Amino acid sequence: MMSVSTLASFDYLERLPGTTFRRLYQQPSTSLAIFRRMLPHLAKTFVMALLYMSKPLPLTDLDLWVQPSSKRQKDQALSLLSRLNIVTITAPSREDPQVVSLTKNFKSALQLALTGGGDHQSFGVPSSDVIEDVDLRFLDEYARDQWEGILHYVVNSVGDGMRQDGQGPTLAVKDLLEAGKLVTKGRHSGGGITQAGFSFLLQEVNAQVWTLLLLWIENAEKMSMDHVEVLSFLFMLGSLELGRAYNTTTLTESQQRMLGHLVDFGLVYIPPSTPTQFFPTRLATTLTSDASALRSVSAGFDAALTAATGSKGFIIIETNYRLYAYTSSPLQIAVLSLFTKLSSRYPNMVSGRITRESIRQAISHGITSDQIISYLTTHAHPQLFKTAAAQAGGPVLPPTVVDQIRLWQIENERMKATPGFLFKEFENQKEYEGCAKYADEIGVLVWKSDAKRMFFVTRHEQLRDHIKSRKAK
């Protein structure tokens, strides 16, 4: 199972040109991060097998490693590896069989990363001076404050009188949020949060961090920073150790400038007394951990988040759509108010109703019913879980409410739109079938009609190559 963040960073990486990849893969930390964070297990297996192979491997030999029934997974893994410029596969021709090999930079960088050696300093240089008062707790708290400040700003842009005092994020972060269209300043009366902002808010922390960082990278070019350098720096941060001080003096000049921005996000902490040191926070060190480690680490972060804001489950929802939330956290109340009609607020509780109108409003902002339901489920009060358990594992939320929220969404969502490419005018049935089958195998097919010999795919590059190679044969 891949998390949202993986997909978001994937999409970005896949759009990069090959030259960018060659430069990115010069850093062992980058190669290692992409290897462990971005690749599914089968792709990892291929990479490991190819890592110390001196000659390119014929594709037919690779086929033997995989059960015929798993051809689809194999094709998807290979297609991903070549999109990320990790492997090169020679073009099919009559004379030579197709061979596959790791790209040169990636191969040597990953070897360096795994076995050590070299003086690349790509994993950071620890600082020897020890500061007493910076411990894990302090770093977690610091990261949480910075990050909550940003989330608050996004939520509060809805502007329903719950504006938080305090400084909030810096101007640079605010500009970034606006440039990324997560908020808009003073447009219609509904407020400034956008569709993207909504889904941003409901993502898990790690996914949020990636979303914001990718925005930052996209805007980095405007700030005359090189995105390759930014990316390698982020991947380096992901390989650092939490609670350890690192030297800023070994960083390049532009990396030092980036450090300033990352302080704004709460990804690093620079002690005011010793500006030559920086501490990565949990937000930074979990950037590239692999999926299973991520879950426990982000759970740790969630625990840190909830420690300050009360117990984890605080929402009670009744079959009559009334909602009671035992919280005094302005952030949580603000999130609830995005899809609930809140009516009263007490010192430790807010109450309100979920109405057709409130859900409609949320949906018009681009939030989905599934997001609302999963938010309610994860934050359901222990009492609801107890009732569910008493009914031998019944649903946590009242089914009527869940169904109704879904129905309200369907009512408003009249069409499903998928951008992509329509393929048509195939010369014969055989050509059509071959292409449609291939499109399905690489996982891009969304619709097909055998009668009309047409199909619709989300990407066309590989399919185009496939059609060309068929012509060549």
| CB closer to other proteins out of 219 and 355 | 355
Cβ atoms 299, 293 nearer than 8 A:
no
- Sorted by sequence, the CB contacts under 8 Å of residue 392 that are 6+ apart come out as none
- Give CA–CA dist 166/183, Å, rounded: 19
Minimal distance, residue 130 CB to other proteins, in Å:
56
CB nearer to other proteins: pick between 84 and 367: 367
Closer to other proteins by Cβ: residue 123 or 421: 421
Smallest distance, other proteins to C-beta of residue 326, A: 19
Instruction: Name the residue nearer to other proteins (CB basis): 272 or 419.
Output: 419
Mode of pairing for the β-strands spanning 277-280 and 315-317? unpaired
CB 204 within 8 A of CB 197: no
The answer to whether 279 and 248 have CB atoms below 8 angstroms apart is: no
Closest to other proteins by CB, 167 vs 344, is 344
Nearer to other proteins, 49 or 407 (CB): 407
What tokens appear for 249 in the block?
A: 């003096």
**Cβ closest to other proteins, residue 347 vs residue 419:** 419
CB of 409 to other proteins, least distance (A): 14
Least Å from the CB of residue 49 to other proteins: 35
CB 324 within 8 A of CB 349: yes
- Dihedral over alpha carbons 212, 214, 216, 220 (to 10 degrees): 180
**Do 176 and 212 form a contact (C-beta atoms < 8 A)?**
yes
Q: Which is nearer to other proteins, 2 or 422 (CB)?
A: 422
Report how far residue 258's alpha carbon sits from residue 213's, in angstroms, rounded to the nearest whole number: 11
Q: Minimum Å distance from CB 346 to other proteins?
A: 15
- Residue 32 or 196 with smaller CB distance to other proteins: 196
Segments of 300-391 assigned E as strands: 315-317, 322-325, 341-346, 349-353
Residues that bind other proteins (CB under 8 A): 321, 343, 353, 355-357, 414-427, 431-432, 435, 446-447, 449, 452, 454, 456, 460, 463-464, 467, 471
Angle at CA of residue 324, ends 323 and 330, nearest 5°:
110
Closest distance to other proteins from the beta carbon of 214 (Å): 22
**Shortest approach of other proteins to residue 431 CB, angstroms?**
7
CA distance 88 to 107: 11
b/e map 58-87, b = 16+ CB within 10 Å: eeeebeeebeeeeeebbbbbbbbbbbbbbb
Sign of the dihedral through C-alpha 3, 7, 12, 17: positive
| Contact present, 62 and 43 (Cβ < 8 Å) | no
Q: Are 281 and 269 in contact (CB under 8 A)?
A: yes
Beta carbon of residue 160, minimum distance to other proteins (angstroms, whole number): 17
Q: How far is the CB of 448 from other proteins (least distance, A)?
A: 10
- Report the C-alpha gap between 274 and 142 in whole angstroms: 17
What are residue 469's phi and psi, to 5 degrees? -70, -30
Sign of the Cα torsion 128, 129, 135, 141 reads: negative
Nearer to other proteins, 243 or 434 (CB): 434
**Would you tell me how many other CB atoms lie within 10 Å of the CB of residue 285?**
21
Long-range contacts at 302-305 (CB < 8 A, ≥ 24 apart):
302/205, 304/140, 304/141, 304/144, 305/144, 305/148, 305/205
Least distance to other proteins from the beta carbon of 420, Å? 6
State the nearest-atom distance from the C-beta of 3 to other proteins, in Å.
26
Which residue lies nearer to other proteins by CB, 210 or 432? 432
Minimum gap (Å) between residue 381 Cβ and other proteins: 20
Give whichever of 141 and 431 is closer to other proteins, judged by the CB atom.
431
